[in-house]
Chains A and B, each alone.
Chain A
């Protein structure tokens, strides 16, 4: 693989690691005694180190090595977990992120920061009970590893011949290594040792291959070779998984040899296995045969091991598939084409008439095909569905840093992280969520002092919750803060001319104003929020995802911001309508009902334009033929039909010629040069090959200048 390819893979892997790491580190701060989190953090940093080295990020490799040492101390219980450590690890992570992800950075500045961090790491490692945490009870001891499971490392050492010249005794190094554990396998290669008459007494000839059972981490093993690692051939491999150690349990599956499986099962010991392997290699035979011949295991045990080997292979095969989402999109598009072809065939089958035997057989075959393609579609869609948990988790760091910056103590609670939604939706929901969370932290949740004075828990609570309901996904940002101040919102709305001073306005309607552009009741513009941009961007972003957002609040008790999203962006249920010779699709989620109005129910109101009277209220009327410049079959609403549809809380009537039915639609995107209109979000190809345009309700209302507020 090219160097560029390796770097690309590493960058993808690193982004995932960063997300998990940040979340885990913040969680460790909340629960400093959780050994599993410490282990996960250590493993992530370890992976980051290894991969960065392979990808050529040498500076990151070296830095991460130091950080890993510090985390190993935490794992071993030698280092306490406290706020200072968490800050150090998070700041170190920031440096690593910058180093990997930022293309144009100030190297001198990066070096200065790195030097400072390394100094802090050194200082931290120097005093095991951190100076900033003098109170013993304040510093929870790291999750000690008194019961640390054994690990196995295979260490192969071949010193350079002239190592004695540098004053190093190789034997001392091997002794240091063995002092860390118990060798379960040891082979000394003396084959290079010359005869007595030709030996160069000042050269090193022996080589070692050792499997060490130890409770230490790999870094401790590496430390043994600290001063000779550079120019000697030393390899250290964690083979815990191969020796049945628990450390390997959470690791990716690795192919096992039959002998290794027998060792894992306790049938064979590693020393016997090594001897059997030697014999197998010299005789060029099968290892199972040698093991049975030597009486180390029965034929049945070897057969079982072979079966286990096969099972592991299969598990590896099914557990390591990674697919680019673009490929899934492509498959989905192709499936859409199949559906179109299928619909065309249905049309042909219908053409044969009820009495035709061929027509009937064709219909039967198509019925079966239809069922298969639907299942196929569902399977592809399920692959696109990913849980929202990781997206939520990445906010742990954000909540921590933001609340600390404001001197607040806020705990993030995540609920429903397993809720799945389309990957595309997940990718786009991060920014709006961040705005909402920031808003809650900045304006919603009070300071600890203010909370204490009102009898609340000094620590605020922010909940991110996700759940499925009625074919949609709901995401809620809930805080237990002061709630929205209706009086302030009202005053602001009046000052902006959105509400008349004498107007009676419901609380819900006032709450929704926070999503209006430029609307902010914050008294000062801070670093975080209060600029009046953000919440309107939130609404726009969510509506771009064909979703909606609403807010509920109770003064003094807190607020709930609720986002409603479609499960997927790739397929929608749509209502097909005709306007002249064109077919449009209105997303079914937006459709409320369809009516045929009476002539007297359509009128023009000053300031609101044309409206239609529906169920005791007037809603704006949009003649689609006007909006899209099409020659219709009917020019007057009472001759055609009105589809009542909504976007957010705005309800409008769309005048169409006819309703053609409902259908599940595979959305095909339109390039921007085809349409600049925001009123069209995409297209679909129908069964008869015709193209139908999908109406974007939010865009349509903006195009025809019907804003949410004007409609109320």
Chain B
């Protein structure tokens, strides 16, 4: 499980990328925990979408956990159905 930081955004997107890449190498399922996140920025959502595509192509899964309505709305704005 990867817990996203409260202030998740473009400044720390690189760190999150490394974590996801590492998890994807090790396992078939990654759980992204949004419980501490109030809002996302676009860089993070792009990363999540790219990672989900990558995982799906390899028969792996990325699951989202503790997604607030606000985050769900943000994902929807970016064309991501949850």
Contacts and interface: CB of A to CB of B under 8 A. Distances in A.
Interface of A: 164, 169-172, 174-175, 178, 186-188, 190, 193-197, 199, 201-202, 204-206
Contacts of B14: 201
27 contacts: A164-B43, A169-B10, A171-B45, A171-B74, A171-B77, A172-B41, A175-B77, A188-B77, A188-B78, A188-B79, A190-B78, A193-B49, A193-B50, A195-B50, A195-B54, A196-B50, A196-B51, A197-B54, A199-B17, A199-B46, A199-B50, A201-B13, A201-B17, A201-B43, A202-B43, A206-B42, A206-B46
Interface residues of B, number: 22
Contact of A201 (B10, B40, B77): B10
Interface string B51-62: 101100000000
Contacts of B21: 196
Closest 5 CB pairs of A and B: A188-B79, A196-B54, A171-B42, A169-B41, A196-B50
A201 B47 contact: yes
Given A205-B46, A206-B46, A175 B74 contact: yes
Contacts, number: 65
Nearest to A159: B42
Contacts of B50: 193-196, 199
A164 B12 CA distance: 13
A186 B49 CA distance: 18
A169 B9 contact: yes
Contacts of A171: 40-42, 45, 74, 77-78
A170 B17 CA distance: 20
A558 B42 CA distance: 73
B47 A174 contact: no
Nearest to A197: B54
Contacts of B54: 195-197
Given A171-B77, A196-B21, A206-B78, 4 more contacts: A196-B54, A197-B54, A202-B43, A206-B79
B40 to A, nearest CB: 7
A206 B46 CA distance: 8
Contacts of A201: 10, 13-14, 17, 43, 46-47
Contacts of B13: 201-202
A197 B17 CA distance: 10
A186 B79 CA distance: 9
A158 to B, nearest CB: 13
A276 B11 CA distance: 41
Nearest to A183: B77
A188 B10 CA distance: 20
A169 B13 CA distance: 13
Contacts of A172: 41
B39 to A, nearest CB: 9
Contacts of B77: 171, 174-175, 178, 186, 188
A195 B53 contact: yes
Nearest to A163: B42
A479 B46 CA distance: 73
A195 B58 CA distance: 13
B51 to A, nearest CB: 5
Nearest to A175: B77
A365 to B, nearest CB: 74
B51 A204 contact: no
A363 to B, nearest CB: 81
Kindly name the residue among B40, B45, B49 whose own CB sees the greatest number of chain A CB atoms within 10 A.
Answer: B49
A190 B52 CA distance: 13
A204 B42 contact: yes
A612 to B, nearest CB: 94
